[in-house]
Every structure is written in structure tokens, then in C-alpha cells.
Structure 1
Amino acid sequence: MTKPVAEQTDLSRRTLVTAGLGLAAASSIAAAPGRATAARKTLPNGFWWGTATAAHQIEGNNTNSDFWLAENVKPTLFQEPSLDACDSYHRYGEDIALAAKLGFNAHRFGIEWARIEPEPGKFSAAALDHYQRVMEACHAKGLAPVITFSHWTVPRWFAAMGGFEHPDSPALFARFAERATAKLGPLMAAASTFNEANIARLIQARPESKLIGPAVRAMLAACAKASGSDRFASVLFADLAKSEANQVAAHEQAFQAIKAGPGNFPVGVTISMQDVQGVGEGHRATEIEDQIYGPWIAQAAKADFVGVQTYTRIRVDANGIMPTPKGAELTAAGYEFYPEALGATIRYAARKTGRPIYVTENGIGTDDDTRRIAYIDRAVASMRACIDDGIDVRGYLHWSLLDNYEWVFGYKQRFGLVAVDLKTFKRTPKPSALHLGAMARSSRRLGK
């Protein structure tokens, strides 16, 4: 077992919250003796097994985005710039072929707004053609393209006008969604407007947010100056009082624009959901849930599905969020190793929204791939138990296919099933990739 590492300030997407092939892999996910056979029988037909990625984290050279600027100004919170990332903008065919070879049938990825609309009202036909080729490659390899319209990054010009603090922001985001759907909609299998729409709420709920507040403001001021603007707003570090109502309106307007087609596919929103556990008398778990989810649970309840994105748990007593239990195993990203959180958040999402559920992210930052395999087994077992109990779960998309750019932590944290050499860009599947792929193949072979 990996020894606990010192807790770190939670700043990345996942740290903010905190192998063989064959039938043996499928049976290893059983939560208890006798459960494996029952669990295999309950997976719905057409269940999606796959991986999730984000455009900025894998494509490289996303030079027109707000994050590219934030990575390169001084002062900055980012430990290193993204630069070429995994060069997936050019190597997407290799990545898609690898995912299919591993045994997956779905692939979640982002279409980068900053590439598609690099200047306000100026849409790039070449960028739209590129994402059309990516989706066509997915279909050619038997992967359902699951699209994210905005995975935190926005065009630099949009951030410099105030981002979602600007009153025109809902219409501008909906315009992008409409234009992208007009070109790409017929190829989409599912889509979400925003990735982890509640991320700013989650960050601000954490006690360490007060520590990083001055550094965030200094970085954003540097971005504003570099943009020749008096403001610069980030989705990740949003001022909720100024931006959240506009972002909700942007989701609603974009949802309608995407649903108008072309294409006929489910549209939802993904939410960062942690297993919020109340501890002791007078605990404030419900208060913390309301704080970190805000209006987004209600929005998910009106969508076609909710994307559950879970990594760990949050324990809450009468004083608020508690420290990680002493002696608990921690991931390399500094949060508690707690795979069973996934089952708990699936149950929460089902109870609160009544909508079909896709697990659109679940995974672990670690350099010990045996712990990744253990995490996968236990998390998937908790998901299958939910399905056994009649909850409508339609897919499991693991974060992530590749070791990639982990936002403020750069390339130091590895969540991928596949290692990437950042100099040669060689992809090397880890045992965990074969392990999860075996589950996917076995599930489909059994026809369950």
C-alpha cells in the first residue's frame, strides 16, 4: 500500500476537492462473494465503457485560450506551462485507435472554444473541420463521441471582457454552441455544456481557498494587463456573485441551441460530486452540499442526463469540512484514497435529479499503477451495486486516457491509463489500461 503523502494545497481539477486480460478482470470487481455474476447480468445494453480527456490538457499550444495566458504571465499559480501537452491535436488518430484497441466503446473529449472562435464573431472553419475529423475517427473505431463544449477554458478575448461576469456572456456562449452544433451535431453521441459547472463553488468551499485568494487575484490582474483590459475572469476562480447567474443562463441557452440540432443526442451538464459524509451530532453535511452544488443540481434535473464526476469523499462535522482522517491512504494528488465515493454520489445524483447518469469522470492521481487498479475495481464495484439496485447508470468514463497537463500542477500528477513521453510523445499503456479494457470487453462479450 502506498504510504500517505503530505497533504497539498488543492488546486487542480481533482486536487481541488480534495492486469491482465480476460474474464478474471470482470469478476474481480465484485463487492462481495457471489456478487460478480449478479452484477454482470445487470449492466444495461449499450453501456459505455471509456475514458475522458480535456482539450487544453492534451492538445497542446492552445494559444488563444485564457489558461495559456495565465500559465505564462508573472505572477502565476501554474508550476509550468502546457506548451505541447500530449500533442493530441495532431495525434488524435493514434489516441482514438489506442482507446479502441484497449476495448472501449466511448470517448469523452472537448471541442476548444478558443480554437473555434479565436476572435469574437470570427469562427475558424479549419478548427471545426478538425473536430469533425476527430469525431469521424471515433466513429470509424467504434467509439461514441461524448463532447464537452467548455472544459473550463474560454477564449482569451472572452476572459478579457469579463467572462461570465459580462451580461452578454450567455448569448455569446450560446452562439458558439449553435455554430459548433451546426457543423458537428450529426456526429455527436452525447454532449455537456460545461465541465464541472460547480467548480468555483467547490474551490471556495475548501478552507485553503482563503490562502490562495491573493495569488489568484495577482495572477488575474497580470492577465488583464497583458490583455490590455481592466478585467480578466476565469471559470476556475470565478466571482460567483458576479458570474454564476450568467453561467446558469449560458447553460440554459446553450442547451436549447444544442438540442435544436442538427443531430439527435442527449445533452446534460457534468458536476463535480464528492461523497459528503456527515460525522457526529449537528453535522453540516447538507449545508456543505448546498454550498458546493448551488443551482447546478436543479439544472441537471432539467437536462437529459447528469454527468457524475467523483474522486473522493468530504467528511463534515458541526464545524464544517474536516481534515483527512489520520493515517488514511492519500493519492499523489493529496486527497484521500476512497473509491467507494463513486457509488455514494451516483445514489445522491439519482435521488436529487431523477435523471439518467453517466460517470463522466472517475480516477486517481498516482505513480503506483497497482493502486490505480485497486481504485478502479472498488469504484466500479460501487457503481455496479447502484445498477443492481435499479439506478439508471449508462456509462463509465475513466479519467483519464493519458497522463496529461494537470492545470496548476503541470505534468507532476499522473491520472492516465496511458503514460506519455513528453519529448517523443510515445504512448505506453499501463497495466491499469489493460485491466479496465478487459472489463469493457468482457461486459460486451457477455452481452450484458
Structure 2
Amino acid sequence: MTDIDRRVVLGAVAALASTGPLAAARSSAFPRGFLWGAATAAHQVEGNNINSDLWLIEHLKPSPFVEPSGDACDSWNRHLDDIALVAKLGLTAYRFSIEWARIEPEPGTFSAATLAYYRRLAEACRRHGIAPIITYNHFSLPRWVAARGGWETPEIASLFARYCDRAARALGSLPAYHCTINEANQPLLPYLLRGDKPDRGEEFILGLAAKAVGSDRFGSYASGNRYRARDAMIAAHHAGGDAIRAAVPGAKVGITLALPVLEAAPGGEAMRARAVAETRTVWFDACRHDEFIGVQNYDRKQVGPAGFAPNRTDSMTDDEGSDNWTESLGTAVREAATATGRPVLVTEHGINAIDDARRIKAIDAGVASLARAVASGVPVLGYVHWSLIDNFEWLRGFKPKFGLCAVDRATFARTPKPSAHHLGRIASNNGLKGTIA
């Protein structure tokens, strides 16, 4: 057990002693130093990420994206303001990603200016008393990597390690936590539950992209052979993590996994078991020697004998009908901690909802279930909400609303929603006030 593990577990035990057996979870269930934060990702907020594979795909005709990212939220020019906003809300952590396509726009060519830019962001976090949580890859790849096959290219582990080395050396000891790859396990789940078949139109779109870059090997996140990409991502995670630790002795390195609660619908037990084994267990095994595991949970999904089954209707849903079960987050962190023996950092949790009152309910339900997990002895390091601001949500464009703060699409002005101040109050109380049954 590391010092971090010991401190967190002892904090949880102390909280349990003060509140009594698991009859209730109070705000004191969270240990001293527990992080409360919000997250963004580079491609979704910075804007004009023109050297990335996704920028290329967004501008294909036809494109699977409903609209291009364009200026996104103009965070490239406003990131310091975003960090000040995190501090003003009373949060103590900010998770953001650095963009490989900006740092290494051509193979072996690294931008000193871009590396210095990201270091300034981490420094700004520290000045505001905010723990920077850095993600090295959040879906997007440099276009030249995609042209070589993306995550399926044979040299991806060494390429990713080289990039992680340069970035980690620039960031130094500033980051509190280093996340190698975001939701690396996510692409395989829908692929498996579609019968190991590509999404409709995927091969056509990738053919257009390959033609655009003059390559027949074009590969992107959530495309191609998911099993080959999974194994390559595991190798890249290990190589990248080792590079970060070598560059920054004492660095706390982990990966973030998408962990919706998977329940077996009638007849779906075998398919659920396969989904767990192929999209989770192999990743849990790969994370056992990391300093932490990042858990990203939004919903509960039903698995039938032939794939996804209709959602249950006994809990709140988001704007697209996902099942936002109140115990989803606590269930996910228990699973991850039990399977890996690692401390858990909740790197994403939230809801797609225009109605901000539902976001407040989702936050309260998630924090309450997390408090119960901590009180039962699960070592949890922090809770990071997705997302700080309404942003570009990939194929769906700007329509989904996950943000604690609204963004004016014309002026890019940020306006905190009631949920932002609500999470800030939770942070100042180190949990929900009172007793949670």
C-alpha cells in the first residue's frame, strides 16, 4: 500500500468511526484533502485544433459529425480565465488535457511554445490553489499518427511514450495526477454489443479520411479493429506511464476508464460476462501497478443476449434517455477499487441536461453514493465533474449540455449555472451537508 492509499483509507476509516456503521454517510466521509473539481478536454474547448485527425473528419463531406468544432469555446485564448473560474467557484481541482496534435504537429517536431503554454496553465492552477490533473490523450490524435493507422500502428507505444516524455518534462512536478489515455476501454463496448461490427458508415468515412491524407491505413479513436487497438492502447499506456515516471520521479500515473454500470437483462448474463471480461477485466489487470485508476461513470446500461437492451425506467434520465441511476457512481468506484486494488479518482461524472435542476440532482445522487462507498472503506481521492463548461460533444456537436457553466456561442462568455455554485458549496463543506440515508 502506498502512502496515498494509506492516507485515504485511514481518512475513510476515521470518517466511518465518526458516523457509525453504514447507516448513513455524512460529509465527513470524505477525507481531508479530498479533491473537488471540474474537467474539460482540449479538442472540445480550445478551438481550431487543425492538425488533429478529428478536425479532418469533421470537415469531410459527408461527415459523421453534425457540425465542426471550429472555435469550440475559445479556451486556447481563455484558459487562464477558465482556471480563475474554477477557483472562484471554490473547486480545488481542474482536469484538462494537453493536445498531442499541437505539441507534435509533425513526427519528431515538438513545439516549445505549446509545451510552455500548457506549463503556464498548470502553473496558474497552482497559483489558485488548484490541483492540475493532466490527461495526455483525450480521443484526438495528430493527423500524421492517424495516417499511419492511429492506435493500430505498430509503433504507437513508442510514439506515445516519446510524446509523454516531452510533455512530462515540460510540466515537471506541477501536475497532481497524470492520466495517460481517456476512456481507452470505451470503443470496444458498443462494438462488441453490435456483434463485433463497425458502425454503419464507418468504413466509408474512414475511406474518405484515408484518401484525404493519402494513406490506406487511416485510423482514429473508436474505429478499425477494436481488439488490436485495445491491445495497442494497453502497451501505449504502459510505455507512456513509464516515460512520465522516468521524467518526473514520484509522478502519480493512471488511466481513465469508462465504467457505466452493466446489468444483465433477462437472458443477457453470458453477454454481460463477456463484455466485462473484454472491456474491463483486461484493463483492470493492466492498471494494477499504477498509482491510481480514473473512473468515469454517467449511467447504467442493460445488456441482453444480443447486445444492448432497453434501459430501465425506474430512475432519472438525461436528455438522450440514458439511465442516470442514483447508485451508479458508487457502484462503479467499488468495482474499480476491488478489481485493481488501486485508489480511485473520479475523473468524470455528470449528466447531459438542459434543465440544470436535473444536474443538481445528479450531482447530489452521485456524491451521496460516493460518500457511501468511501464510508465503506473504498479509497477515493477526489470527484471531478464533467464538465466545467458546455462544449463540443464530439459527433453530437454543441447541442448536449454537460456544463456547470453556459457558454455564449457568439461571445464565448461563461455564465455559471446554479449547479456550479452548488458543487462549490459541496466542495467547501467537503461533501453534502447532513445525513444521507
- Secondary structure, aligned partner of 2:230: helix
- Determine which of 167, 175, 184 is the counterpart of 1:197: 184
Aligned residue type for 2:372: A
- Tell me, yes or no, if the aligned pair for 1:283 and 1:319 is still in contact at 8 Å: no
- Cα displacement (A) at 1:130: 0.5
Aligned residue type for 1:347: R
- 1:20-58 CA-to-partner distances (Å, cap 9, x unmatched) read xxxxxxxxxxxx9x9898522221111000011111000
CA 1:288–1:421: 2 relative to 1, 3 Å: same
Query: Structure 1 residue 255 and structure 2 residue 252: aligned?
Result: no
Which residue in 2 is equivalent to 1:237? Answer: 223
CA 1:207–1:339: 2 relative to 1, 3 Å: farther
CA 1:257–1:247: 2 relative to 1, 3 Å: same
Which residue in 2 is equivalent to 1:26? Answer: none
CA 1:38–1:346: 2 relative to 1, 3 Å: closer
Which residue in 1 is equivalent to 2:282? Answer: 295
- Cα displacement (A) at 1:242: 3.2
- Secondary structure, aligned partner of 1:301: coil
Q: Work out the CA distance in 1 between the residues paired with 2:268 and 2:297.
A: 25
- Secondary structure, aligned partner of 1:187: coil
- Secondary structure, aligned partner of 1:386: helix
Aligned residue type for 1:248: I
- Determine which of 300, 310, 315 is the counterpart of 1:323: 310
Aligned residue type for 1:224: A
Structure 1 residues not aligned, in runs of 5+: 1-31
Q: Work out the CA distance in 2 between the residues paired with 1:445 and 1:410.
A: 33
- 1:164-214 CA-to-partner distances (Å, cap 9, x unmatched) read 21111110110000111111122111011100010211231344985x623
- Cα displacement (A) at 1:240: 2.1
- 1:146-179 CA-to-partner distances (Å, cap 9, x unmatched) read 0000001110000001112111111011000011
Superposition map of 1:129-144 within 5 A? 129-144=116-131
Bigger mean CA deviation after superposition, 42-51 or 313-322? 313-322
- Tell me, yes or no, if the aligned pair for 1:76 and 1:215 is still in contact at 8 Å: no
- Determine which of 194, 204, 214 is the counterpart of 1:218: 204
- Determine which of 375, 397, 408 is the counterpart of 1:388: 375
Q: Work out the CA distance in 2 between the residues paired with 1:445 and 1:383.
A: 11
- Determine which of 105, 113, 117 is the counterpart of 1:118: 105
Which residue in 2 is equivalent to 1:24? Answer: none
Aligned residue type for 2:113: A
Which residue in 1 is equivalent to 2:390? Answer: 403
- 1:296-342 CA-to-partner distances (Å, cap 9, x unmatched) read 11112221111000000122355553211357643113312323211
- Cα displacement (A) at 1:263: 5.0
- Cα displacement (A) at 1:416: 0.3
- Tell me, yes or no, if the aligned pair for 2:294 and 2:345 is still in contact at 8 Å: yes
Structure 2 residues not aligned, in runs of 5+: 1-18
Bigger mean CA deviation after superposition, 39-48 or 171-180? 39-48
- Secondary structure, aligned partner of 2:140: coil
- Secondary structure, aligned partner of 2:200: helix
- Secondary structure, aligned partner of 2:358: helix
CA 1:327–1:346: 2 relative to 1, 3 Å: closer
- Secondary structure, aligned partner of 1:260: helix
Give TM-score scaled by structure 1 length. Answer: 0.88
- Secondary structure, aligned partner of 2:296: strand
- 1:229-280 CA-to-partner distances (Å, cap 9, x unmatched) read 1221012224124322222111111110001122533100100001112345
Which residue in 2 is equivalent to 1:370? Answer: 357
Bigger RCO of structures 1 and 2 (CA < 8 A, at least 6 apart): 1
Query: Structure 1 residue 344 and structure 2 residue 327: aligned?
Result: no
Q: What count of residue pairs does the alignment treat as equivalent?
A: 414
CA 1:281–1:442: 2 relative to 1, 3 Å: same
- 1:279-305 CA-to-partner distances (Å, cap 9, x unmatched) read 457723322212332521111222111
- Tell me, yes or no, if the aligned pair for 1:185 and 1:263 is still in contact at 8 Å: no
- Determine which of 24, 35, 42 is the counterpart of 1:48: 35
- Determine which of 63, 67, 72 is the counterpart of 2:59: 72
Q: Work out the CA distance in 1 between the residues paired with 2:313 and 2:294.
A: 31
Q: Work out the CA distance in 2 between the residues paired with 1:444 and 1:295.
A: 33
Which residue in 2 is equivalent to 1:8? Answer: none
**RMSD value, Cα:** 2.3
Give TM-score scaled by structure 2 length. Answer: 0.90
- Cα displacement (A) at 1:97: 0.5
Q: Work out the CA distance in 1 between the residues paired with 2:408 and 2:166.
A: 35
Aligned residue type for 2:201: A
Superposition map of 1:262-273 within 5 A? 262=248, 264-273=250-259
- 1:210-233 CA-to-partner distances (Å, cap 9, x unmatched) read 5x6231111111111111112210
- Cα displacement (A) at 1:74: 1.5
Q: Work out the CA distance in 2 between the residues paired with 1:50 and 1:238.
A: 34
- Tell me, yes or no, if the aligned pair for 1:306 and 1:349 is still in contact at 8 Å: yes
Q: Work out the CA distance in 2 between the residues paired with 1:344 and 1:309.
A: 12
Q: Work out the CA distance in 1 between the residues paired with 2:390 and 2:196.
A: 26
- 1:54-84 CA-to-partner distances (Å, cap 9, x unmatched) read 1100000000000000100122100000000
